[in-house]
Amino acid sequence: MSGNDETSKPLIDDDYILIEDEATALLPPRCEREWLVLVVDDDPDVHQATEFALRGMEVEGRSLRLLHAHSAAEARQRIVEIDDLAVLLLDVVMESEDAGLKLVEHVRRDLMRKALRIVLRTGQPGYAPEQETIRDYDINDYKTKSELTRIRLYTMLTTAVRAYRQMRAHEDMRRGLETVVRASTELTKLRGMQLFAQGVVGQLCALLDVQPAGLICAQEAHPGDLMSARVIAAAGPFQHLIQRPLEELEVAEIQSSLKACLAERRSYFGATLTLYFASESGCGLAAYVEVRRELDELDRHLLEVFCASMAVGFENVQLYARLVDQAYVDPLLKLPNLNRLLEVLDQAQSASGDLTLALLDVDQFSAINDTLGHAYGDMVLRAIAARLIKGLPGCTVARIGNDVFGVLGPGTQVHADALTQLLVENFEIESQPVRLTACLGLVEQAGSKRRGNELLSDAHVALKQAKQHQRGSSVCYSQSMGQDVRERMHLLTGLRDAYGAHHLFLVYQPKVKLSDGSPSGIEALMRWRKDDGQYVSPDRFIPLAEQAGMMATLGTYVLRSACQQLARLRVAGYTQLSMAVNVSQAQLREPDFISVLRKAIEDSCLPPEQLELEITESMAAEDLALLRHLLGEISALGVKVAIDDFGTGFSSLSVLRHLQAQRLKIDRSFISEMAQDDSIARMVIGLGHTLGMSVTAEGVETPEQAQALREMGCEEAQGFHFGRPMEELALLQWLAAPGPRV
Ligand code: C2E
Ligand code: CA
Ligand code: CA
């Protein structure tokens, strides 16, 4: 290097450029193999002399590399460019008498370069800065050039370099920790594992000041199960692996280091970096980053802090995921729940398409649950869920209530026939074939701009209608149905008025002994005749009254009227007839039911054994314990009990055995099918007798049915063949001259 004249500048520049080139070619940035010292002096000889004096010298195992600036102005520029400059060997007098000191001020105050060590040199004594300045600007040393022998210069530089290294380490550490803290705060805002993992890697690279050449984050699905590990975030060449099993990672080396990290639950620091993030659940997370530079102690230390701090964030993300899970996933079936379905519906609303929402309500589910146990009920739900998911690929299948599923999908897939068809095949539960049906309520989105909850409520309206028909029914929502709801409201008001205006009354249908055709009793049935003379069917208004909370009032009225009627019949000489009264579930649940019953009997002075209450099987399914208790009390009063509509419910034999009932009434659907198949009628009669009950056949319409039932040993029959439900006067006539006897 020759720097004798003014032309030396470019040479030095070249030199510097050379160093830079080497640095990029051989060394990654910030890998400090050399201590960089900037010599600032307007005297070229000084540069040369310094160069000569320090040739071959090393400090702490690293050589010194001198860079050169020939004016304060040039030095300013250099300092900004060289981030890891260790020492400034600075001439005081250059462009001006205090150019050196001005530069010092600039370095400390404007550039905030705290770690950079500054050694001032001056040709002439007398330009020494004030003590204060030395302290304020943190100047390491002040020497006259003549003082600086080779040895002294070296010793002084060694001290300065050491100080620099220490301060720099401090600074880096502080900056690193700040990054970690910032990273944690940033990352905790990221919801979802994948975002978090990506965020971790981004922050990690920022911390290490590297561009990730490749990175992979893998997480175990089950604690300690390496085979279950999946890639949850990846960048660069590994991007395609996101959500794939770790096993599929082609680069064996990376795969094995991630696995080792997960297995041993610790981080590995090397040219490639594998970090372990522990989690409370035990499902560890491992991140692999190719950093392409050696990590020093500081890096490692920071990484450890980083991992510990990220592990907390990781934990939070998992916790959050669990919370989301709880809010949006049904815990039993792991299906989307109502909240989630509403979200999906709202999202679907903006997308155009012909989506249909179907609600599917499992028939008799509470009966299944109560008679066969909750575990069995769960199995039923699982079986149905599995069938729906398999049969409706691509559709959303949600569980939105106890036994109600919601299905959302294109109208070509989600329609009544398809859904009904899906359930036709027997289910297998506990290796037993089981037939399950469900009622369906459907609503087509059909470009309507209705919100999710509105669609859902329409579907509910349709479902409710379907449930009023027989099992397995389906109803598609139509505009008129909203009208139907209004009609029902109208009907309900009408019912209230009718009760007040005595438009509700009782009719009586006779029952006969099949042995000789003599009248054995009558059943009271409620009627509602509207002002216009039209009748409303009890099948229609009784469920309405139950829903509206009117049934207790109506039931009491029926009970008392029936008792009074029976008392009148007794007075008329019909002392052996029994009176059957239908009792609804809502009525039974009234806490004062027994006292109402007792009072009705007392007030009409009836022998209690001539009163018979008809209850349905489904009540046994609702609350067996309550029912058993009530039946005990009813029996204690001497009142009889009949199980109505037997065979249509889901009660099991064991339930039947526990009920104190004296009579079974075979549902009329089994009587009407007797000509084709009389096996159920036969079975029910046999069953009743086995349990010590007498049996009544309902809905007997032909002499053949009566004949067949008599041959089967059925005691009693009721139906249009013998007599229709009649008002008091007609009944008295019928009793005086009864219709067909057998
Ligand atoms: P249910 O208790 O099964 O009553 C028998 C129903 O079958 C009556 O219908 C009766 O008219 C009808 N029926 C009787 N014989 C025949 C026949 O030979 N063929 C056909 N096709 N039908 C026959 P109704 O009066 O319309 O009552 C319907 C249901 O409403 C009753 O079924 C009962 O569950 C309920 N209900 C009626 N009155 C009352 C009441 O006062 N209280 C309660 N809780 N429910 C009542
Ligand atoms: Ca009945
Ligand atoms: Ca019945």
Per-residue pLDDT tens for 532-585?
889 999 998 998 898 788 899 999 999 999 999 999 999 999 999 999 999 998
**In the predicted structure, residue 489 carries a pLDDT above the cut 60:** yes
Mean pLDDT of all residues in 401-429: 93
* Cα–Cα distance, 616 to 363 (Å, whole number): 16
Mean pLDDT of all residues in 414-420: 94
Residue 414, phi then psi, degrees to nearest 5? -95, 95
Mean pLDDT of all residues in 87-112: 90
State the virtual CA torsion across 495, 496, 501, 505 in degrees, nearest 10.
Answer: 50
Q: Distance from the CA of 631 to the center of ligand 2, in angstroms?
A: 17
**In the predicted structure, residue 603 carries a pLDDT above the cut 90:** yes
Nearest to 368 by CA among 622, 683, 642, 665: 622
Give the number of whichever ligand sits closest to the CA of residue 552. Answer: 1
- Closest ligand 1 atom number to CA of residue 558: 41
Q: Distance from the CA of 615 to the center of ligand 1, in angstroms?
A: 12
| Ligand 1 binding pocket mutation candidate from 499, 525, 702 (most atoms within 8 A of CB) | 525
The tokens of 679 are what? 């096996």
Q: Is the CB of 250 under 6 A from ligand 1?
A: no
Q: Is the CB of 263 under 6 A from ligand 1?
A: no
Nearest to 640 by CA among 688, 596, 584, 580: 580
pLDDT in tens, 67-84: 999 999 999 999 999 988
CATH for the 182-328 domain, from 3.30.450.40, 3.40.50.2300, 1.10.3720.10, 3.30.470.10: 3.30.450.40
Q: Quote the percentage of the chain above a pLDDT of 70.
A: 88
- Closest ligand 1 atom number to CA of residue 538: 30
Instruction: Band the pLDDT of 29: cuts 50, 70, 90.
Output: very low
Q: Distance from the CA of 613 to the center of ligand 2, in angstroms?
A: 9
Give the number of whichever ligand sits closest to the CA of residue 647. Answer: 3
The answer to whether residues 519 and 722 touch, using CB atoms and an 8 Å cutoff, is no
Q: Distance from the CA of 525 to the center of ligand 1, in angstroms?
A: 6
Average pLDDT across the chain, whole number:
84
**In the predicted structure, residue 606 carries a pLDDT above the cut 90:** yes
Identify the residue with better confidence: 169 or 21: 169
**In the predicted structure, residue 26 carries a pLDDT above the cut 50:** no
- Closest ligand 1 atom number to CA of residue 507: 25
Nearest to 644 by CA among 617, 611, 612: 617
Identify the residue with better confidence: 146 or 20: 146
CA distances from 397 to 174, 344, 345, 354, 434 (A): 52, 11, 12, 17, 22
- Closest ligand 1 atom number to CA of residue 506: 41
Q: What is the pLDDT of residue 24?
A: 32
Nearest to 509 by CA among 665, 710, 735: 735
Q: Is the CB of 696 under 6 A from ligand 1?
A: no
* Pairing relationship of beta strands 355-362 and 438-444 according to DSSP bridges: antiparallel
- pTM score > 0.85 for this model? no
Q: Is the CB of 100 under 6 A from ligand 1?
A: no
Q: What is the pLDDT of residue 594?
A: 97
**In the predicted structure, residue 3 carries a pLDDT above the cut 70:** no
The tokens of 34 are what? 């050399």
Instruction: Band the pLDDT of 285: cuts 50, 70, 90.
Output: confident
Instruction: Band the pLDDT of 25: cuts 50, 70, 90.
Output: very low
The amino acid at residue 582 is N
Q: Distance from the CA of 540 to the center of ligand 1, in angstroms?
A: 11
Identify the residue with better confidence: 415 or 290: 415
**In the predicted structure, residue 15 carries a pLDDT above the cut 60:** no
Q: Find the helix or strand (DSSP H, E) in which 616 lies.
A: strand 611-616
* Pairing relationship of beta strands 578-582 and 535-536 according to DSSP bridges: unpaired
Q: Is the CB of 667 under 6 A from ligand 1?
A: no
Residue 718, phi then psi, degrees to nearest 5? -150, 140
Q: What is the pLDDT of residue 433?
A: 86
Mean pLDDT of all residues in 299-325: 74
DSSP secondary structure code for residue 336 in this structure: B
* Cα–Cα distance, 146 to 121 (Å, whole number): 9
Q: What is the pLDDT of residue 649?
A: 66
Mean pLDDT of all residues in 698-713: 97
Q: What is the pLDDT of residue 353?
A: 72
Q: What is the pLDDT of residue 163?
A: 86
Give the number of whichever ligand sits closest to the CA of residue 584. Answer: 1
Give CATH superfamily name and number for 502-736: EAL domain (3.20.20.450)
The amino acid at residue 427 is F
Q: Distance from the CA of 586 to the center of ligand 1, in angstroms?
A: 17
Nearest to 688 by CA among 728, 661, 708: 661
Of 107-116, 165-174, 702-711, where does mean pLDDT reach its minimum? 165-174
Helix residue spans in 219-280 (DSSP H): 252-264
Q: Is the CB of 371 under 6 A from ligand 1?
A: no
Q: Is the CB of 579 under 6 A from ligand 1?
A: no
Q: Is the CB of 542 under 6 A from ligand 1?
A: yes
Q: Is the CB of 728 under 6 A from ligand 1?
A: no
**In the predicted structure, residue 22 carries a pLDDT above the cut 60:** no
Of 76-90, 299-313, 368-382, where does mean pLDDT reach its minimum? 299-313
Q: Is the CB of 701 under 6 A from ligand 1?
A: yes
**In the predicted structure, residue 57 carries a pLDDT above the cut 90:** no
Q: Distance from the CA of 506 to the center of ligand 2, in angstroms?
A: 13
Mean pLDDT of all residues in 259-264: 90
Q: Quote the percentage of the chain above a pLDDT of 90.
A: 41
Give the number of whichever ligand sits closest to the CA of residue 645. Answer: 3
Q: Is the CB of 645 under 6 A from ligand 1?
A: yes
- Nearest residue CA, atom 25 of ligand 1? 525
Nearest to 657 by CA among 643, 639, 675: 643
Give the number of whichever ligand sits closest to the CA of residue 666. Answer: 3
Q: Distance from the CA of 611 to the center of ligand 3, in angstroms?
A: 17
Place of tokens 């059925």: 714
Domain extents for the chain?
6-178, 182-328, 349-480, 502-736
Mean pLDDT of all residues in 97-120: 90
CATH architecture type of domain 349-480: 2-Layer Sandwich (3.30)
Q: What is the pLDDT of residue 641?
A: 96
Instruction: Band the pLDDT of 187: cuts 50, 70, 90.
Output: low
Q: Is the CB of 492 under 6 A from ligand 1?
A: no
Q: What is the pLDDT of residue 7?
A: 36
CA distances from 498 to 204, 492, 554, 644, 742 (A): 78, 10, 11, 27, 38
Mean pLDDT of all residues in 613-626: 82
Torsion 461-462-463-464 (CA) sign:
positive
Mean pLDDT of all residues in 147-172: 83
Q: Distance from the CA of 644 to the center of ligand 2, in angstroms?
A: 6
pLDDT in tens, 216-255: 778 887 887 888 888 877 766 777 887 788 888 888 888 8
Q: Which residues surround ligand 3, an ion (CB under 5 A)?
A: 644-645, 698
**In the predicted structure, residue 413 carries a pLDDT above the cut 90:** yes
Q: In the beta sheet, which residues pair with residue 144?
A: 122
**In the predicted structure, residue 522 carries a pLDDT above the cut 50:** yes
Mean pLDDT of all residues in 409-415: 93
Q: What is the pLDDT of residue 680?
A: 86
- Closest ligand 1 atom number to CA of residue 555: 42
* Cα–Cα distance, 88 to 428 (Å, whole number): 85
| Ligand 1 binding pocket mutation candidate from 506, 563, 582 (most atoms within 8 A of CB) | 582
> Does the domain spanning 6-178 belong to CATH 3.30.450.40?
no
Q: Distance from the CA of 676 to the center of ligand 3, in angstroms?
A: 21
Instruction: Band the pLDDT of 37: cuts 50, 70, 90.
Output: very high
Nearest to 61 by CA among 26, 32, 85: 32
**In the predicted structure, residue 13 carries a pLDDT above the cut 90:** no
Q: Is the CB of 538 under 6 A from ligand 1?
A: yes
- Closest ligand 1 atom number to CA of residue 665: 3
**In the predicted structure, residue 269 carries a pLDDT above the cut 50:** yes
Nearest to 566 by CA among 596, 608, 529, 598: 608
